[in-house]
Amino acid sequence: MIRLATVQFTPRLGERQANLEAIRSLLDPVEADIVVLPELCSSGYFFTSREELAPFAESPGGVACSFFQGLADAKRAIIIAGMPETAQGCFYNSVFVFRPGVADPLVYRKSHLFYKERFVFEPGDTGFPVIRDEQLDISIGIMLCYDWRFPEVSRVLALGGADLIACPSNLVTDAWRKVMPARAIENKLYVAVANRCGTETRGDETLLFKGCSAVYDPYGETVALADADNDRVLLAEIDPRSCRDKSFNEFNDIFADRRPELYGAICCPRR
């Protein structure tokens, strides 16, 4: 069994050091093999310009990257953290995956930008990575917040061998709570949603982040669930081996029964 920690946390906008210290305090007593943190957990969310975002955007070796790599090494855990990234003059809403003893983090750049993110971030260009860890015998797929709206994302990750989809998030709607269990059951894998809570106000607009971080099992059942308002760490034991047999009776297998030759286009019947 693998010990999974899913972190619900309330970042302060533009206060990186305070955010990192709060994360350190939350994780200090936690023993886990995998830790999933929210989207943009080092910086806060509601930036209104690239100039405002720039001081908090990271490349490998930056302040927050060094912090999380140190945490991964000290805890001997995989740390999955959402942060703003800078690369070749562009800014991305990204997830960094830090592994103990591995100097270079894997980076996923958010493919589907939500709401006003398009004014500060570029659409991601990494595709959808699946990270294999032989020591834990688990494959982890990464998606980021609004990516959940697109079933193709979780299916691509599942077809890539993911046993667990980690989804750092800053969710402001409630619809995802209906859909995330479906993403788990339709692909027969675990889904960990690390959402933030709290509010951020810019001008006359306030975003309310909905919390309710959760872990769902391969049958769509809730393994762990947070409330809407408080910082906390959800701990769950998961067995990735339960995700690898995609059959659900002696005749049907959700992958073997696929008909991809029919999925290439949407066909409208002629009248």
Long-range contacts of the stretch 202-207 (C-beta < 8 A, 24+): 202/46, 202/48, 207/45, 207/46, 207/172
> Is 120 in contact with 105 (CB distance < 8 Å)?
no
> Tokens 């049958």 sit at which residue?
219
What are the φ and ψ backbone dihedral angles of 145, each rounded to 5 degrees?
50, -110
CA angle 30, 35, 41 (to 5 degrees): 105
CB burial class (10 A; 0-12, 13-18, 19+) of residue 90?
middle
| Half-sphere exposure (Cβ direction) of 191: Cα atoms closer than 13 Å | 35
Residues tagged active-site:
39, 110, 145
Rounded Cα distance, 86 and 254, in Å: 39
Residue 77: CB partners within 8 Å, gap ≥ 6?
A: 5, 32, 33, 34, 35, 71, 100
> Is 8 in contact with 230 (CB distance < 8 Å)?
yes
> Is 192 in contact with 167 (CB distance < 8 Å)?
yes
